Amino acid sequence: MTEFATLLEPGTARLERMLPASIEQVWGYLTESEKRGKWLATGDMDLRVGGVVEHVFDHRTLSPHPETIEIPDKYKKHCGITKMIGHITAIEPPRLLAYTWAEGEAPDSEVTFELTAMGDMTKLVITHRKLPDRETTIGVCGGWHGHVDIMIAVLKGETPKPFWSIFLPLEAEYEKRLP
C-alpha cells in the first residue's frame, strides 16, 4: 500500500491508508458531523440510500495553528465556509459509504469509503469516480490525502498542521505523479 493516491483509470482515483483506530471509530469519523468536522467538514448525513449528505467546509477549523502559506487564487473561494450537498448511493455500516459529490458547475462525481478491520487498525480505501479532468483529479487526490493525514493526526491525539500547508505541497507532488 502506497501513501499516495493512484489512478485506477482516467477520472477515477483511489487512496488507501491504515488508520490507528477501530472500524467503529472510523465509521463515526465518516458519518458523525462533530467528528467529521475535525478532519473534513461538518454537516448532517441522512444515513440511508438516497439520504442527503451535507458537508460544510471551513478549513480554518481543522487546526488551531494559523496558516503560514500563501493560498493560490484558484483556491481562495475555498478559504471561508463552503458547502457541498450530495446523496448517499450505498451504505453498509460500518464497512461501506458512498455518495455523490456536487461541487460547482461540474457534473456530480461519486466518492466511496470502504473500511476493513485489521486488528486494532482500520484499512480505509477512498475511491473518487467521475472526475472530469486532470486538474480536478490532482486537486481531489491532494485533498483526500491531506484530509486523511489530518484524520490520522486527530486519531493519534496529535494537533494537525493547517490544511493548506498540507494540501499545497501534496498537490504539487500529485502534479508530478499523475499522468
pLDDT of residue 78: 74
Q: Output b/e per residue, 22-57; b: 16+ Cβ within 10 A.
A: bbeebbebbbeeebbbbbbbbbebeeeeeeebebbb
Which of 102, 75, 100, 76 shows the shortest CA–CA distance to 90?
Answer: 100
* Beta-sheet strand order (sheet of 82-92): 6-9, 12-19, 121-129, 109-118, 96-101, 82-92, 52-57
What pLDDT, in 10s, does the model give residues 60-109? 999 999 888 788 777 777 778 999 999 999 999 999 999 999 987 778 99
Q: What pTM, to 2 d.p., does this model score?
A: 0.95
pLDDT of residue 148: 99
* Cell, residue 41: 467538514
Write out residues in the chain with pLDDT < 50, as ranges: none
pLDDT of residue 1: 66
Q: Which domains does the chain have, with CATH numbers?
A: 6-177 (3.30.530.20)
Question: Would you call 171 helix, strand, or coil by DSSP?
Answer: helix
